[in-house]
Amino acid sequence: MILLNYKKIGTGNKTIIVLHELMGDHRNYDAILPYIDTTNFTYIFVDHRGYGLSKDILGEYTCDEAGNDVKNLITELKLKEVNLLAHSMSTMIAQKVALIDDRIKQLILITPITASGIKMKPEAQAKLIASMKKNENLIEYVVESASSRYNQKWKDYRIKMGYEASTLEARTGYMTMYLTTDFIAEVKAITIPIKIIVGHHDLPAFHKNNIKKQFEMYYNDFEIIECMEAGHYPMIECPVYFASKIERFCK
């Protein structure tokens, strides 16, 4: 059995498992570390196959595989109840975990994607995947598009993280996952609470009204909070706010 690697912080009896996005790894959450409650909470920052601390673990990089990896880690850690937090592309994986593991008591989804993935015309989808495989310019384009209000130092940091956090195969695999995977018909079986944080300055697809419209069609119990000073990375852009909201959700 493959076991993902992780960074564990805290000794509290409430556990929060934290998953990262496509162009980062567990280090995306470093900015919140000075502000988390390590007495009442235990945080487990997990890296998927091909990312960060799990960079040497090969895989198929599918939603089913990633979901089972998280489930296996929960079993290995002997956890009975888990709050599962995920960001962007990992929010699809978190929803899969909630369907296969009844130890998940709450989902916290940051700038999320529904279980239907991101829909594109086949030509556009193929072009995007091909651009990722070439390993040039796509990360720069995404960072530039999402960071127009920030300085070059921020952009350089995100671009460097985008390339260094993962293998090319993993990035391409997980991008393919969210462009081609659709299990939206299953999610009505998710009955646990879902908390959502979006950023006011994020790309239009992730704006509050769009996310609300997508989620209210399929999900039973969800709440959306908008971080007014953040874009796609509220954990980095507004770390005190982010840590405070997460722990309030989990209390």
Per-residue confidence of the chain (251 residues) as pLDDT tens digits? 899 999 999 999 999 999 999 999 999 999 999 999 999 999 999 999 999 999 999 999 999 999 999 999 999 999 999 999 999 999 999 999 999 999 999 999 999 999 999 988 888 898 888 888 988 889 999 999 889 899 999 999 999 999 999 999 999 999 999 999 999 999 999 999 999 999 999 999 999 999 999 999 999 899 999 999 999 999 999 999 999 999 999 98
Kind of pairing between the strands at 41-46 and 104-110:
unpaired
Q: DSSP strand E in 76-221: where? A: 82-87, 104-110, 194-199
The per-residue DSSP string of 137-148 comes to SHHHHHHHHH-T
Q: DSSP strand E in 69-136: where? A: 82-87, 104-110
CATH code for the part of the protein at 6-250: 3.40.50.1820
Alpha carbons 19 and 131: distance in angstroms, whole number? 25
The distance from CA 126 to its chain's CA centroid, rounded to whole angstroms, is: 23
Torsion angle of alpha carbons 187, 198, 110, 138, nearest 10°? 100
Alpha carbons 220 and 72: distance in angstroms, whole number? 26
φ/ψ bin of 111: left (φ > 0), alpha (ψ from -120 to 50), beta (otherwise): left
Name the nearest CA neighbour of 61 among 165, 142, 172, 195: 172
**pTM recorded for the entire structure:** 0.96
Residue matched to tokens 């999900």? 219
